[in-house]
Amino acid sequence: MTTPSAPGTESEMMFEPTSAEFARDRYAIYRRFREQDPVHWRSGRNGGGRWVLFRHADVSRALTDSAFGRQVAPPAGATAPASAPRPFPALSALISSWMIFRDHPEHDRMRNPVARAFTPSEVARLRTRAQTLVETVLDELETRADFDVVEDFACTLSLRMIAELIGLDGVDLRMLRAWSLALAVAIDAEPTPAALERAELAARELTGVVGLALERRRREPRGDLLSQLLAASGGEQGLDEHEIISNCILLVGAGHETTTSVIGFVVACLLAKPECFERLAAVPSARHAIIEECLRYESPVQFTARVVKSEVELGGRRLVPGQQVDLGLGSANRDPEVFAEPERLDLERKPGEHLAFGGGRHFCLGAPLARMEAAVALEAIARRGRRWQRVEPNLTWRPAIAFRALERLVVRRG
Ligand code: HEM
Share of the chain above pLDDT 90, in %: 81
Residues sharing a CB contact under 8 Å with residue 149, sequence separation 6 or more, in sequence order: 263, 264, 267, 268, 388, 409, 410, 411
Query: Which CATH number is 35's domain given?
Result: 1.10.630.10
Minimal-distance CA residue to ligand 1 atom 21: 364
260 in a structural domain:
yes
8 in a structural domain:
no
pLDDT digits (tens, 9 = 90+) for 357-390: 999 999 999 999 999 999 999 999 999 999 999 9
Residue 82: pLDDT band with limits 50, 70, 90? very low
Amino acid identity, residue 228? Q
pLDDT at 409: 97
Amino acid identity, residue 175? M
Three-class secondary structure of residue 326 per DSSP: strand
Nearest to residue 39, comparing CAs of 312, 320, 315? 315
Strands lying side by side in the sheet with 410-413: 146-148, 410-413, 388-390
Minimal-distance CA residue to ligand 1 atom 13: 358
Give the pairing of strands 49-53 and 324-328.
parallel
Ligand 1 atom nearest residue 262's Cα: 1
7 in a structural domain:
no
12 in a structural domain:
no
Please compute Rg for the chain using Cα positions: 21
How many Å apart are CA 106 and CA 328, to the nearest integer? 25
pLDDT at 86: 62
Candidate from 68-77, 205-214, 340-349 with smallest mean pLDDT: 68-77
Three-class secondary structure of residue 236 per DSSP: coil
Residue 61: pLDDT band with limits 50, 70, 90? very high
Ligand 1 atom nearest residue 247's Cα: 35
147 compared with 278, residue with greater pLDDT: 147
Cα dihedral 147, 150, 156, 157 sign:
positive
Residues sharing a CB contact under 8 Å with residue 332, sequence separation 6 or more, in sequence order: 53, 54, 55, 56, 58, 59, 60, 338, 355
Residue 6: pLDDT band with limits 50, 70, 90? low
Give the pairing of strands 68-69 and 406-408.
unpaired
pLDDT at 66: 95
Share of the chain above pLDDT 70, in %: 94
**What is the span of the domain harbouring residue 155?**
20-413
pLDDT at 283: 87
Does the beta carbon of 362 lie inside 6 Å of ligand 1? yes
pLDDT at 187: 85
200 in a structural domain:
yes
How many Å apart are CA 99 and CA 365, to the nearest integer? 11
Does the beta carbon of 291 lie inside 6 Å of ligand 1? no
Give the mean pLDDT of 312-316.
96
Residues sharing a CB contact under 8 Å with residue 28, sequence separation 6 or more, in sequence order: none
For residue 73, pLDDT beyond 70: no
How many Å apart are CA 96 and CA 150, to the nearest integer? 30
Does the beta carbon of 260 lie inside 6 Å of ligand 1? no
How many Å apart are CA 31 and CA 42, to the nearest integer? 17
Average pLDDT, the chain: 91
Whether the CB-CB separation of 99 and 364 falls below 8 Å is answered with no
pLDDT digits (tens, 9 = 90+) for 117-159: 999 888 999 999 999 999 999 999 999 999 999 999 999 999 9
State how many domains the chain has: 1
For residue 170, pLDDT beyond 90: no
219 in a structural domain:
yes
218 in a structural domain:
yes
For residue 104, pLDDT beyond 60: yes
Nearest to residue 120, comparing CAs of 380, 375, 365, 376? 365
Does the beta carbon of 100 lie inside 6 Å of ligand 1? yes
172 in a structural domain:
yes
Indicate whether this model's pTM tops 0.85. yes
Give the total residue count for the chain. 414
Using the 8-state DSSP alphabet, how is residue 5 labeled? P
Rounded to the nearest angstrom, the distance between the alpha carbon of 357 and the centre of ligand 1 is 6
Residue 11: pLDDT band with limits 50, 70, 90? low
pLDDT at 76: 45
Give the mean pLDDT of 403-411.
97
